[in-house]
Amino acid sequence: MFQPVFAFVILALAAQACLFPKSKGKNTEEGIASENSIYPALRGCTYWRIAGDCSLASLPKGLNSIATMSSGQDLEGILYSPQIPQDPQTLTNLWVTASCLSEDNFADWKWERTVFLRSEMVLSEFLRSSWQESRLLDSDFRFSDFESSSLSEVLMENSCLVRTDWRSSRFENVQIENSIAEESDFSSLMSTGRFEFKRGSLVGADFNRANFAGPVDFKDTDMREADLTGAVFQDTVNWEGAQLSGAIWMDGRVCAEGSVGSCD
């Protein structure tokens, strides 16, 4: 599915999987958002707790400030701080580790075969951005705006996506695992290929009028009070283990307390 030049990412992910087994949690108080989580991006990942700028636990002290980024770079411990507004860029084969890119403007940027690992991008603008064959791992994207963006062959794992905005975005084969996207807006999302959001939290998320053309997997995800009004699922949906208490179903019904795996 992915290009051969991106094989190094797959090897890195395999190594990470060996070192950090997936945690499983039922909610953000007792599960994956625990302060004791082995994933720094998930510690205290809630919509009511606003992180300080460049405060992610995985960031080193004394970040090195840079004003530009280029394709093919391997950046670690940097603070992206452009001196003047940047024109939209196309970045390919970029690897960013333990770095801070918060409160920055990346509208209309294109990211291809890019990896963000243990990094912070809180309150950043990614409007109309494009992501191809990229990985967002153990990173904090809280309150960032991805409205009208395009994502293809993208993996997000162990990340904080609380109150992110994905309205009117287009997904193709997007996989999100062990991540928290509470109060996030996926309304009018258009998804083709496979969409997965597994072992995470979508409490209060908005899928109003979202359209899923391919198979969907919400296995073991907390979807309490999520809004699925008018959402269209054209293929199979795996609701196994999904918590649906208080969720608004596609036909407007409110799922009963204790609904798991189906809207009772």
In this predicted structure, what is the pLDDT of residue 191? Answer: 98
Question: Which pLDDT tens digits describe the chain residue by residue (264 residues)?
Answer: 444 444 444 444 444 443 333 333 334 344 555 556 788 899 878 776 555 579 888 999 999 999 999 999 999 999 999 978 889 999 999 999 999 999 999 999 999 999 999 999 999 999 999 999 999 999 999 999 999 999 999 999 999 999 999 999 999 999 999 999 999 999 999 999 999 999 999 999 999 999 999 999 999 999 999 999 999 999 999 999 999 999 999 999 999 999 999 999
Interatomic CA distance for residues 66 and 96, integer angstroms: 13
Q: Quick one: CA dihedral 212, 199, 139, 164, positive or negative? A: positive
In this predicted structure, what is the pLDDT of residue 2? Answer: 43
Q: What pTM was computed for the model?
A: 0.85
In this predicted structure, what is the pLDDT of residue 263? Answer: 97
In this predicted structure, what is the pLDDT of residue 40? Answer: 87
In this predicted structure, what is the pLDDT of residue 44? Answer: 79
